[in-house]
């Protein structure tokens, strides 16, 4: 069953095209939802996100009823095997408001942004334990194109 469309969800860009924080109040309000996906973020959330934004990260929020319902952290990457990609670092919907179309709305907005930025690909990584998220990504037409290998060096 498809999630309903969410016409009353407002999208707010926390950063501008340069990574400058243009909505600091909303950034602070996004922390609780963002930590549902990334509980390991340091106590200095604003400081950490400022560093991420300075290195290419951008943030888009889904707001409904004056509350943050979803957080998308993304960036543009140029690589040799795909060309230009809009890479989604984090896409998280408040656990109390999932399956209500908020994720679909954010993903659609990121697709439009990717097209406007001349991207060839929209991509993200998702932890192997996140089966519900994977069902959503498949419903949205995404595919698994590769494995991601990593090694912790610090």
**pLDDT mean values, one per 10 residues, the chain (154 residues):** 64 96 97 96 97 97 96 96 93 92 93 96 71 64 70 82
- Indicate the SS3 state at residue 35: helix
Please give the pLDDT value at position 148: 73
- Indicate the SS3 state at residue 93: strand
Please give the pLDDT value at position 149: 73
Please give the pLDDT value at position 134: 58
Please give the pLDDT value at position 79: 92
Q: Output the furthest CA–CA distance in the chain (Å, rounded).
A: 44
Please give the pLDDT value at position 7: 64
**How many whole angstroms separate alpha carbon 28 and alpha carbon 6?**
24
Non-local CB neighbours of 31 within 8 Å, separated by 6+ positions: 41, 45
Residue the block writes with tokens 């060096």: 153
For 44, other C-beta atoms within 10 Å of its C-beta total: 10
Please give the pLDDT value at position 129: 60
Angle between helices 24-37 and 45-54 (to 10 degrees): 100
């Amino acid at each position: 069953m498809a999630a309903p469309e969410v016409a009353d969800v407002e999208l707010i860009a926390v950063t501008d095209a340069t990574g400058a924080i243009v909505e600091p109040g909303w950034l602070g309000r996004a922390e609780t939802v963002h930590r549902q996906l990334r509980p390991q973020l340091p106590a200095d959330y604003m400081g950490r996100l400022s560093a991420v934004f300075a290195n290419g990260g951008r943030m888009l929020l889904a707001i409904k009823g004056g509350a943050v319902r979803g957080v998308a952290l993304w960036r543009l990457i140029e690589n040799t095997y795909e060309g230009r990609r809009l890479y989604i670092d984090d896409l998280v919907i408040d656990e109390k408001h999932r399956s209500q179309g908020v994720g679909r709305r954010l993903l659609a907005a990121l697709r439009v942004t990717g097209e406007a930025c001349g991207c060839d690909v929209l991509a993200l990584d998702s932890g192997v334990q996140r089966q519900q998220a994977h069902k959503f990504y498949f419903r949205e037409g995404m595919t698994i194109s590769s494995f991601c290998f990593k090694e912790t060096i610090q």
